[in-house]
Amino acid sequence: MVGLFGDEDAAAMHLSKCIYSVGMGSNDYLNNYFMPDFYSTSNEYTPKQYAQVLVSQYTEELKTLYRFGARKIAIIGVGLVGCAPNELARYSDNGVTCIGKIDNAIQIFNNKLINVVDTFNKQLPGAMFTFINPYNMLGDILKNPHRYGFTNSNSGCCGVGRNNGQITCLPLQSPCQNRNNYIFWDAFHPTEAANIIFGKRAYSAQSPKDSHPVDLKTLAGM
């Protein structure tokens, strides 16, 4: 960067104007905390304690980014993991109702991230952190999927077993033909159609809960 911009001050100035998008946490819940047959974390920590462990580690990583010159940082929260086809296949009696204990744990984590954003913006000179909330966005979509053009809200477009969520999309497997009608692409991940909605709402919030304290459009202009 110094070679591109001529000196360290010019490089630092450029870095401070960039927006950095950071996200973590989904796999800590999907592939760890809520897999008690393989990991002991759910026996070692309450949901509140586990969220604090994750956020404490996360905070240090974010401080490292700040020390290297990042100033505009968008922290992407964790979505409604309890509504993913894999979790529905494993825990939901009807294959439709989201798993409350999972989503409640996620909400604890997200709320702690909001507190981190507020603390950094107050304490770190020049810091402009914001929190992007896919939890709220997906919740809106699931309440009224047809409004957003979706006809399937609980199964993967590509997968195996109940809800196409017991095993994720396999090599050479044919996906559904109408993928834009699905919220979920596979056992865990949203489709491109859903991600476009998330991206648009992250850039220009449609609800006060979509971002905190500002959306990406506002952050870009700061």
CA-CA distance, 194 to 12, in Å (whole number)? 35
Structure tokens that stand for 113 in this block: 């991230």
Tell me how far apart the alpha carbons of residues 57 and 161 are, in angstroms, rounded to a whole number.
36
**What's the structural domain count of the chain?**
1
Q: How confident is the model at residue 9 (pLDDT cuts 50, 70, 90)?
A: confident
Give a yes or no: residue 120 inside a domain.
Answer: yes
Domain extent at residue 130: 2-142+207-220
Is the residue at 128 inside a domain? yes
SS3 of residue 22 by DSSP = strand
Is the pTM higher than 0.85? The answer reads yes
71-107: b (≥16 Cβ within 10 Å) or e? bbbbbbbbbbbbbbbbbbbbbbeeeeebbeebbebbb
Q: Residue 189 domain-assigned?
A: no
107: alpha, beta or left, given left = phi > 0 and alpha = psi -120 to 50? alpha
Q: Does residue 2 surpass a pLDDT of 90? A: no
The answer as to whether 163 is a domain residue is no
The alpha helices in 68-191, defined as continuous H runs, are 85-91, 100-123, 134-143
Place of tokens 């304690």: 49
Domain membership of residue 131 (yes or no) is: yes
Q: Tell me: pLDDT of 5 over 90.
A: no
- 3-state SS assignment for residue 168: strand
Taking only the tens place, the pLDDT of each residue in 133-165 is: 999 999 999 999 999 999 999 999 999 999 999
Question: What are the pLDDT digits (tens) for 36-83?
Answer: 999 999 999 999 999 999 999 999 999 999 999 999 999 999 999 999
**Domain membership flag for residue 187:** no
Instruction: Dump pLDDT digits (tens) for 183-212.
Output: 999 999 999 999 999 999 999 999 999 999
